[in-house]
Structure 1
Amino acid sequence: MTQSVTLCGCGWLGNYLLKALAGNYAVLGTTRHSNRAEQIKHNGASVLFFQLGDDPAQLCQQSENARVVLNIPPGRRNQDLTEYTRQMCALIDSFVAHEARQIIFISTTSVYGENERVVTEHSELIPLTASAKAHCAIENHLRRLANEKATVVRLAGLVGPDRHPAKSLSGKQLSQANKVVNLVHIDDVVAALKKVIDHGAPAQTLHLCSQAHPTRQDYYTWCAEKMGIPVPEFDGEDKQLKGKQIDASASWQYLGLTPRYASPFDMII
């Protein structure tokens, strides 16, 4: 019998994951947009129109005994995330009540804050932004409600063949020259999520990041030169490294994976 996966949120990440799962699973993808619906169907999944705040009954009924990937980001412009947090927690309640087999919550490494330190999966959470605080609250709610069905996956900055921060930073005047870079390639994220879906990772908190951490100045200058776009200019700073450094080695080891893109320098083809 073909197992079921529900991708609750089929944006940029969800679409890559959908293509990797289709054919091996019966995939249900949600979207708010009709043009995305056609893309989801084309990639081999069934579609349900859903946006956060809708009645989740139909979605959750169709997700009974399914592995659910909960990937609905709050949006960058919204700074009051009280309602977002409430609605996400209510959606989790409904999935649990309808006996979803597993809930994989896509979170963020921003929950660790920005203090200068090496961060492991067990490091103290120091959420500073509204988004980080919301993700912490949702993670905690999921664990309290259904820890044995829960897998939390915290992602570093996402990079892919059609997405790289160097493009938006090109030619700009920037600060934090010596802040370290924490990035992960979409191919490695998809490989990790597929492992979690294939084998389960109950009551686990994983974080995904490449294994090398150059400074912003070194990396984005190199990227711009490699891409042939204007190089960003950085304000002068001392040479002390700044910010957190995500050590994801334990998560990669748990998953039995070696990142294909072990260094951010590998992410420019």
Structure 2
Amino acid sequence: MQHPLVLCGHGWLGNYLAETREPATVISTTRTPEKCQQLAQQGYQAIPFTLGDDPAVLTRHCSQATVLLNIPPGRRNPSLDTYLDNMLALIDALIDVKVGHIIFISTTSVYGEETTHIVTENTPVDPQTVSAKTHIAIEKRLRRYPNYRYSIVRLAGLVGPDRHPVNVLSGKHFSAGNKVVNLVHVADVVTALTQLIRRGGEGKTYHLCSLAHPKRGDYYPRTAHARGLALPRFDDTTALPVGKRIDARWSWEMLDTRPRFATPDDMM
């Protein structure tokens, strides 16, 4: 029998992961009664929970469970102090009830945008945005606890059947076409998370990213053409590539898998 999986934030990614499991083993949080009803109709145990609520509303379901913490801070919020305080309080409460494994969905934006180097799981972070700094603070709180209880997963830009950056970029004009892209397909993320859930927390930090990093001035027009969209235009595409390259080879190896969408071209 599968151990319970608690999706603290049953959003876009959580839905893809939930579809791979027996519904009776999934406990989901959502902020609205309508979404609770929808999830219940699909066979999931749905809990109305908003970050900042009494953590006991959630933690009573979490003893020995795997908890996927995937509540994004919101890109347009200039101050994330309340969000951070609530996330840290939730983590502390989860540890208090002896949660089996916390998986925190973080982001490769914690490395900043200035580096042009290959970035591994051991590269020092350089968060430059409020959101990135907040993610680092949450990661640090997890590291206070015994190593076997948590995993940190830093995701590159997420792509899926119903989600791709080119849909937003189509027909627009941008600079820095020589900047490289770091993308990962949701199917590969789900495979990696499934492996991580099976093996349990070991206090490690993982990268999830494809293995190739084309220049965006090459990649996005090519993708737009393949999808029948208006081509985006980029300056500086012929210049030497710049920007960080997320190296996830160690993580894929540790999780005993290889991305099916190994290059961004596979995601078109």
User: Smaller-chain TM-score range?
Assistant: over 0.9
Task: State the alpha-carbon separation in 2 of the partners of residues 218 and 133 from structure 1.
Answer: 31
Long gaps (5+) in structure 1: none
Q: CA contact under 8 A between 1:118 and 1:246: conserved in structure 2? A: yes
Residue-by-residue CA offset, 1:128-186 (whole Å, 9 max, x unaligned)? 11111000000000111343201000000000000000000001111110110000000
* Structure 1 residue 39 displacement after superposition: 3.5
Q: How far has the Cα of 1:43 moved from its partner?
A: 3.7
Q: Which residue of 2 aligns with 1:261?
A: 261
Residue 5 of structure 1 corresponds to which residue in structure 2? 5
Pairing 1:50–2:59 present: no
Q: Distance in 1 between matches of 2:99 and 2:200?
A: 13
Deviations 1:117-138 (A, max 9, x none): 1000000100011111000000
Separation in 2, partners of 1:177, 1:87: 39
The count of aligned residue pairs is 267
| Pairing 1:56-135 to 2, within 5 Å after superposition | 56-114=55-113, 115-135=115-135
Q: Which residue of 2 aligns with 1:189?
A: 189
> For 2:146 and 2:90, how far apart are their aligned partners in 1?
13
AA partner of residue 81 (structure 1): L
Deviation string, structure 1 residues 45-85 (Cα, Å, up to 9, x no partner): 21000010000102101111101111000011112111111
Residues 181 and 215 of structure 1 are in contact (CA less than 8 Å); yes or no, is this contact kept in structure 2? yes
What is the TM-score of this pair, normalised by structure 2? 0.96
Other-structure match for 2:173: 173
Residues 193/43 of structure 1: CA separation in 2 closer, same or farther (3 Å cut): farther
- TM-superposed CA distance for 1:27, in Å, is 1.0
CA apart distance, 1:199: 1.6
Measure, in 2, the Cα distance between the counterparts of 1:261 and 1:44: 30
Hey, what does 1:207 align to over in structure 2?
A: 207
Give the letter for the 2:75 counterpart: R
Shift of 1:33: 2.0
Shift of 1:237: 6.0
The amino acid of 2:199's aligned partner reads H
TM-score norm. by structure 1 comes to 0.96
Post-superposition shift, 1:238?
6.0
Contact 1:21 1:194 in 2 (8 A): no
* 3-state SS of paired residue (2:151): strand
Separation of aligned partners in 2, 1:52 and 1:146: 24
Q: Residue type of the partner of 2:21?
A: L
- Tell me how large the CA RMSD over aligned residues is: 1.3
Unaligned runs of 5+ in 2: none
- The DSSP-based 3-state class of the residue aligned with 1:21 is coil
